């Protein structure tokens, strides 16, 4: 899964949390999904504010990314871990992250231990340095891949390209 | 995102489709989310059957994985692309994939071009060869990472380990 840092205003200050249960869920408009444990401070902040940010860190931010995943905003002030900027909403975004989105909540669906949040992306910000022909370039983004099913949950880099999507299977089609 | 092959019975025969909009959404019980375009044959099959499978291919299956992503079950019989096995439901699972789940639909949430499907995993099957100390091992699984935001959507291997999750940030916490 991708490693994503969720940004909110919680108890009056910027707060950040690692989340890896994230996916796009609609093409047009661009709607995203994240599922967050109901006990998290971030969950309550999203409920109160109706907005949040998603920030995509590169591998050089892995320690800070992990730190905001293991430290609750109830126990520590995480507002100064990153440099912050704002867009149209009051959701804080992270300057050090190469891609940022601000989102407005559309719907929250309750499950026993998590809330599934459906939210529309209203603005996306990409660092110039990650673009190739004006499109995000995954090798430049150098995102953090998360794996959680195994004995030791881990972070990984993206590896070697093994094929172009919607292309490499064309010969089997013929 | 992970590359996942969704298995269903559609129009009376096994059918498979690549999907990368997939995430876990609840811890206990294990509930998963997938979002599928409303026009796909798979979407209708899931609605009719109330169940489906998720199959996780390794990189050696990348061509067949792409093929089932670019070919509709309306145009081609995909029932013989893979060797099939069954569990408790009538959702077909793929022998060649190292990890398989069969799921029962809990809820479908409509959006303009996709349906978001929440489904409970009722059985998971892992190949012995991917286990280390009885847990799935991501390097042995050798999953296919999908990136779609860039100019050329692509498949990638998982790269180098850059840290242990919920651990590498502990020093910042101290």
Each residue of A25-72: pLDDT tens digit?
999 999 999 999 999 999 999 999 999 999 999 999 999 999 999 999
The partner residue sitting opposite A26, judged by closest CB among B114, B118, B148, is: B114
Give dist(CA A4, CA A16) in Å, integer: 10
**Cβ pair B51, B13 in contact under 8 A:** no
Query: Whole-model pTM?
Result: 0.97
With a CB-CB cutoff of 8 Å, which residues 4-33 of chain B face chain A?
21-29, 31, 33
- Percent of chain B at pLDDT above 90? 96
Q: Does residue B149 surpass a pLDDT of 90?
A: no
List the alpha helices (DSSP H) in chain B: 41-49, 62-70, 138-141, 170-173
The partner residue sitting opposite B21, judged by closest CB among A25, A113, A150, is: A25
What pLDDT score was predicted for residue A65?
A: 98
pLDDT tens-digit readout, B63-105: 999 999 999 999 999 999 999 999 999 999 999 999 999 999 9
**Cβ pair A51, A6 in contact under 8 A:** no
Under an 8 A CB cutoff, do A113 and B23 touch?
Answer: no
- Name the residue of chain A whose CA is nearest to B67's CA: A169
What pLDDT score was predicted for residue A22?
A: 98
**Cβ pair B23, A22 in contact under 8 A:** yes
Q: Tell me what ipTM this predicted complex has.
A: 0.96
Instruction: Please give the full DSSP string across A113-144, using - where no structure is assigned.
Output: SEEEEEEEEEEEEE-GGGEETTEE-HHHHTBP
**Residue of B30, B82, B86 whose CA lies nearest to B58:** B82
Q: Does residue B174 surpass a pLDDT of 90?
A: no
**Cβ pair A22, A99 in contact under 8 A:** no
The partner residue sitting opposite B114, judged by closest CB among A27, A65, A138, is: A27
What pLDDT score was predicted for residue A90?
A: 95
Which two tokens mark B103?
Answer: 């799921």
Strand partners, B107: B118
Q: Which residues of B touch A173 (CB under 8 A)?
A: 67, 70-71, 76
Region A137-164 average pLDDT? 93
Q: Does residue A128 surpass a pLDDT of 80?
A: yes
The partner residue sitting opposite B158, judged by closest CB among A26, A159, A166, is: A159
Under an 8 A CB cutoff, do A138 and B151 touch?
Answer: no
Region A141-163 average pLDDT? 93
Q: Strand, helix or coil at A78?
A: coil
What pLDDT score was predicted for residue A150?
A: 73
Contact with chain A for residue B112, Cβ under 8 A: yes
What pLDDT score was predicted for residue B150?
A: 73
- Name the residue of chain A whose CA is nearest to B70's CA: A166
With a CB-CB cutoff of 8 Å, which residues 48-107 of chain B face chain A?
59, 62-71, 76, 81, 107
What pLDDT score was predicted for residue A16?
A: 98
Under an 8 A CB cutoff, do A33 and B116 touch?
Answer: yes
Which two tokens mark A52?
Answer: 């949040």
What pLDDT score was predicted for residue B173?
A: 83
Under an 8 A CB cutoff, do A159 and B164 touch?
Answer: no
The partner residue sitting opposite A147, judged by closest CB among B138, B151, B153, is: B138
Which two tokens mark B19?
Answer: 């999907």
**Cβ pair B90, B104 in contact under 8 A:** no
Q: Does residue A151 surpass a pLDDT of 90?
A: no
Region A66-89 average pLDDT? 96
pLDDT tens-digit readout, B9-43: 999 999 999 999 999 999 999 999 999 999 999 99
Q: How many CB pairs under 8 A join A and B?
A: 238
Under an 8 A CB cutoff, do B22 and A26 touch?
Answer: no
What pLDDT score was predicted for residue B1?
A: 97
């Amino acid at each position: 899964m991708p490693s994503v840092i969720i940004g909110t205003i919680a108890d009056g200050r910027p707060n950040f949390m690692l989340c890896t249960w994230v996916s796009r869920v609609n093409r047009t408009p661009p709607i995203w999904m994240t599922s967050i444990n109901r006990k998290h401070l971030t969950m309550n902040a999203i409920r109160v504010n109706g907005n949040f940010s998603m920030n995509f860190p590169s591998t050089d931010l892995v320690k800070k990314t992990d730190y905001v995943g293991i430290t609750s905003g109830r126990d520590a002030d995480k507002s100064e871990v990153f440099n912050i900027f704002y867009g149209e909403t009051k959701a804080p975004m992270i300057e050090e992250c190469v891609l940022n989105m601000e989102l407005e909540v559309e719907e929250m669906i309750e499950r026993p231990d998590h809330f599934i949040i459906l939210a529309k992306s209203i603005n996306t910000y990409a660092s110039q340095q990650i673009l190739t022909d004006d499109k995000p370039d995954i090798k430049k983004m150098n995102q953090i891949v998360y794996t959680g099913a195994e004995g030791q949950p881990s972070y990984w880099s993206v590896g070697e390209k093994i094929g172009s999507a919607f292309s490499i299977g064309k010969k089997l089609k013929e």
